[in-house]
Amino acid sequence: MSEFQTKDPYSYFTGLNSYHESEAIPGTLPIGRNSPQVPAFGLYAEKLSGAAFTAPRHLSKQTWLYRILPSTTHRPFEAVSTTDSREAQKFSTVPNQIRWSPFEIDTSADFVGGLKQLAGAGDIQTKNGVAIYIYSCGKSMKETDVFYSSDGDMLIVPQEGDLDVRTELGRLYVRPLEILVIPRGIRYNVALPNGNARGYILEAFSATHFELPELGPIGSAGLANARDFQIPKAEYTDSSETHTLINKFGGNLFRAEQDHSPFDIVGWHGTYYPFKYDLGRYNAIGSISYDHPDPSIFTVLTVPSPIPGTAIADFAIFAPRWLVMEDSFRPPYFHRNCMGEFVGLIKGGYDGKLAGGFNPGGASLHNLMSAHGPDVQTHRKASEEDTSKPQKVGTGSMAFMFEVSYMVGVTEWGLKESPVQQDYVAHSWGGFKKHFKPPQA
């Protein structure tokens, strides 16, 4: 049985890609137009574009906001001096298989201060690339600090600790085993209701967004269902307190002050919004005859590229599921991939790594064409087990993969200051022996 998250302090709209509209005060949204000469209740109308104005309808992402003051009303941005690798965007591109032990939690940091770039590829300015971050923090953001990224859409995968996220469009409460997507430009504050938090983030710089994959012959339902995605409802504060916008722009942080709350949207309508999803609702589909299907069958969200069937990045999960394939090697196969594979573990274990070393809060990276697969122990067990019987794997576990079509570079923080396991390759694959016996003539 799947485990669902049932308790939530907030209520949501449901349905990814639906047109949603929300009013904290009835009568906020104009009828029959978007930008009336004078909006209701003395509000200002402002448009938030997440796609080109001329994008085809099914790709268009636009939201109209009705707010107490326009977003324009702020003081100039100033660069924040940081010492971490965000500024440099200098990556080591190395073919070695890398595995990290659980990343240390920076309990003195808040969500923004504890955001560290681990890996990435491409270029923010041309909207072509991705970044992979580890976030770790022990403090809530100041209520008057508000973060947003101009660089891309962020998929946030909590591993430890709940996040109480207040966005411009409303509030979302996100726990480990749930994911959150905050599209480019949407402003938010992260509070930590139950202490320390850690997780993984994939940021996509592309003009395309995190979308549900096509289902093809699977049919009209399965994998992540649109209905299970939750979208916040409008909630506003009317305040003249000084707030600080913290903007990630071109990989660097900038700050600007304003004497009003950015959380002043009384109503909104459109298709560009943040959303969350409970991974426990995932409908895993697999082989009911033979062989191990490719992990694309476990895609939750995909960031499409212009090349048909080729994503810029996929987010796939290895959720609890039954394996029934007969006369088959059931765990992940040995392989070399034209994609970069970043795998993280939210909870429990992973069926391809029985020998240990892959732990919740840690990660691995298998870059383009870097050989990887089951470790010796997994291989032995799977070669000997009785495949006439169904087998439940992943009970109490949740692993995930960011599969990225770029050559993934690792930051200095990722290679030098993070818990890289020196013995990963030898530990996992060093013990394979030859069993080759050609037939005697």
- Alpha-carbon span 12 to 273, nearest angstrom: 12
Among 265, 303, 343, 345, the residue binding ligand OMD under the rule CB under 6 A is 343
Nearer to ligand OMD, 55 or 420 (CB): 420
For CA atoms 102, 104, 105, 111, the dihedral sign is negative
- Alpha-carbon span 216 to 323, nearest angstrom: 22
**Binding region for ligand OMD (CB under 6 A) out of 15-23, 143-151, 252-260, 335-343:** 335-343
User: Running DSSP on this structure, what letter comes out for residue 283?
Assistant: B
Q: Does 325 bind ligand OMD (CB under 6 A)?
A: no
Closest contact distance (angstroms) between CB of 287 and ligand OMD is 11
**Binding marks (x or -) toward Fe ion, 318..347, rule CB under 5 A?**
-----------------------x------
Q: Does 375 bind ligand OMD (CB under 6 A)?
A: no
The reply to whether 292 belongs to the active site is: yes
**Binding marks (x or -) toward ligand OMD, 379..418, rule CB under 6 A?**
----------------------x-----------------
User: Running DSSP on this structure, what letter comes out for residue 415?
Assistant: I
Residue 352 contact partner, candidates Fe ion, ligand OMD, none, CB within 5 to 8 A by sort of partner: ligand OMD
Do 5 and 175 touch, CB atoms closer than 8 A? yes
Nearer to ligand OMD, 16 or 404 (CB): 404
- Among 292, 366, 427, 435, the one annotated catalytic: 292
Task: Write out the H or E segment, with its range, that includes residue 198.
Answer: strand 197-204
Do 426 and 97 touch, CB atoms closer than 8 A? no
- Alpha-carbon span 439 to 184, nearest angstrom: 61
- Alpha carbon 344 to its chain centroid, in Å, reads 11
Residue, CB closest to ligand OMD: 332
Do 136 and 105 touch, CB atoms closer than 8 A? yes
Do 36 and 45 touch, CB atoms closer than 8 A? yes
Q: Does 319 bind ligand OMD (CB under 6 A)?
A: no
Q: Does 340 bind ligand OMD (CB under 6 A)?
A: no
- Alpha-carbon span 307 to 316, nearest angstrom: 19
Q: In angstroms, how far apart are the furthest CA atoms of the chain?
A: 92
Nearer to Fe ion, 129 or 373 (CB): 373
**Interacting residues with ligand OMD (CB under 6 A):** 295, 332, 335, 341, 343, 352, 366, 372, 401
**Interacting residues with Fe ion (CB under 5 A):** 341
Residues known to be catalytic: 292
